[in-house]
Structure 1
Amino acid sequence: MSFPQASKSNYALITGASQGIGEAMARKLAAAGYNLILVARREEVLTRIADELASTHGVHVEVFAADLSNARDVDALLAHIARREISICVNSAGIASFGPFMEQDWGYETNQFNLNATAVFRITKAVLDQMVPRGSGALCNVGSAAGNSPIPNNATYVFTKAGVNTFTESLHYELKPTGVHCTLLAPGPVREAEIPEEEQSFIDRLVPDFLWTTYESCAEDTLRAMRRNKRRVVPGPLSKAMDVVSTYAPRGSLAPLLGSFYAKMGEEQHG
């Protein structure tokens, strides 16, 4: 089955749509004529984006404000999309923490797991319940190159992203006979094209600008991969380098090195 076409009755569901990869994917899909359901916590930001995309591209855009780390908000979202025809789903919402696991705020770590893993798991099942019987649909879950290997000082994040990576790639093979496309997006660092100097992080200052992947180019690469039903897409030179290194480098040497970088990120986050 080919990639689902836009129609008046179907929708692309995008979580984490208020910024970053999710927003970039929403913009690309709206430009291609797809109606949208935008999900994130910040309703006012979603509404601004929805109004812009609806007026610019003539598509119908629904806003669903929700905190997907909260099971009740996920329940409400699943009830909402059960009344819609979901032809495309992009699970992009996610958060991260940096620093030693035992020093993290436990509430934040729990929310991170619920958002990055549990919500993706539940939403995936809900949209596939629609797509598989129709024999048509496209699912993209956003994992990470960080999910390829152990990273000290980023333990909860890599726990969730390793799960999303292998879960989504497993589903890709299972879903091939059904006609439903299933793609894992596994990026390394992604950012805006330009970051003001005063807002740059340790990693922004360390990595040359030409190696970064922008949200826009990431979205373009991802949609191209989804249309071709690629199993995994790793956008941009830095992401590809991270993917290769994290897959093939000796873990005993790589993990402490990565851990030292993430420790510095933790110092910035909590400093």
Structure 2
Amino acid sequence: MTKTALVTGAASGLGYELATLLAKDAYKLILVDIDDESLARVKAELERKFKVEVVTLIKDLSTKEVAEGIMQDIKGEPIDVLINNAGFGLFGSFVDTDWERESEMLHVHILTTTHLTKLVLEGMVKRGSGKILNMSSLAAFQPGPLMAIYYASKGYMLSFSEAIANELKGTGVTVTALCPGPTKTAFQKTVSADASKNKITFNMASAEEVATYGYKAMQKGKTVAIPGIFNKFLATIHRFVSRGMAAKIVRNIQEKNRNN
């Protein structure tokens, strides 16, 4: 029987790459994004290349109760794979950044992702099978001055994913937190109005590389997936320096990239 995968933030970047991997494996796809034009192009491409069924849902994931709306739209269709990929960043000192935009980020990264996971998880547990991939970040492992809310929200996603992965042991359902470092996507352009700010080019992987790593980790049921040897080292830096020092290091990196 054809399995179904639901991917948020599927119109570009890592979401697009993950949707492509699912299409190669003949999943029926339910792709969610706010960018209707890009999503339509992705749908046409994947249907043409892989002969799979692709359903698109145009949704603003920063809005209240959007997760329930998605479930209503799919009319109870069983979801075998859920990929919570949607997200964005915001650069600047917390005292100066725009609260409305930060509130939207918290809804996308935390509230909508958590709610959608809860709604999909019930059916997975009843069927005794399912895979969830939550997009965290290398940012999850330390505080992030000048991107405070982004780092904190990714820390939440890592902790949440690890916790429910433990709760779900023995159910046939697995949860994976993908924690990439800097990745070549459109993410940097959404971080600040000036795309020259916060450009991180060192140790940057392609979206295809990161997606492939995360996809394989999800299929194996791995709980935490960190692509790249250097990123694995960076994820452990808190063992060697204080959190205050880690915050100072991150701030220095952020300021250096802002001034480049």
Pair 1:159 & 2:155 matched: no
- Structure 1 residue 264: Cα displacement: 5.1
Question: How many residues align structurally?
Answer: 252
Within the candidate set 242, 248, 252, 1:260 is matched to 252
* Cα contact 1:185–1:234 (8 A) shared by 2: yes
Within the candidate set 7, 11, 14, 2:4 is matched to 11
**1:184: which partner in 2?**
177
**1:231: which partner in 2?**
223
- Structure 1 residue 98: Cα displacement: 1.3
* Cα contact 1:101–1:155 (8 A) shared by 2: yes
**2:192: which partner in 1?**
none
Pair 1:215 & 2:211 matched: no
- Structure 1 residue 83: Cα displacement: 2.3
Pair 1:203 & 2:203 matched: no
- Structure 1 residue 266: Cα displacement: 5.8
Pair 1:46 & 2:39 matched: yes
Pair 1:94 & 2:81 matched: no
* Cα contact 1:26–1:36 (8 A) shared by 2: yes
- Which digits, 9 at most, give the CA deviation of each residue in 1:17-56, with x for residues without a partner? 0111111100011011111011110111111101110111
- Structure 1 residue 61: Cα displacement: 0.3
Question: Aligned AA for 2:153?
Answer: T
Pair 1:59 & 2:52 matched: yes
* Cα contact 1:14–1:22 (8 A) shared by 2: yes
TM-score for both structures, normalised by structure 2: 0.90
Unaligned runs of 5+ in 1: 1-6
Give the whole-Å Cα distance in 2 for the aligned partners of 1:101 and 1:266: 15
TM-score for both structures, normalised by structure 1: 0.87
* Superposition CA RMSD, Å: 2.0
Give the whole-Å Cα distance in 2 for the aligned partners of 1:241 and 1:203: 21
* Cα contact 1:15–1:38 (8 A) shared by 2: yes
* Cα contact 1:185–1:222 (8 A) shared by 2: yes
- Structure 1 residue 130: Cα displacement: 1.0
Kindly report which structure 2 residues correspond to 1:60-139, keeping only aligned pairs within 5 A, or say none: 60-139=53-132
Question: Aligned AA for 1:65?
Answer: I
- Structure 1 residue 158: Cα displacement: 1.5
**1:4: which partner in 2?**
none
Give the whole-Å Cα distance in 1 for the aligned partners of 2:198 and 2:99: 25
Higher helix fraction (1 or 2)? 1
- Structure 1 residue 228: Cα displacement: 1.3
Within the candidate set 28, 31, 51, 1:35 is matched to 28
* Cα contact 1:99–1:263 (8 A) shared by 2: no
Identity across aligned pairs (percent)?
A: 31
- Which digits, 9 at most, give the CA deviation of each residue in 1:220-266, with x for residues without a partner? 11121112111110012443232122454322222112113224556
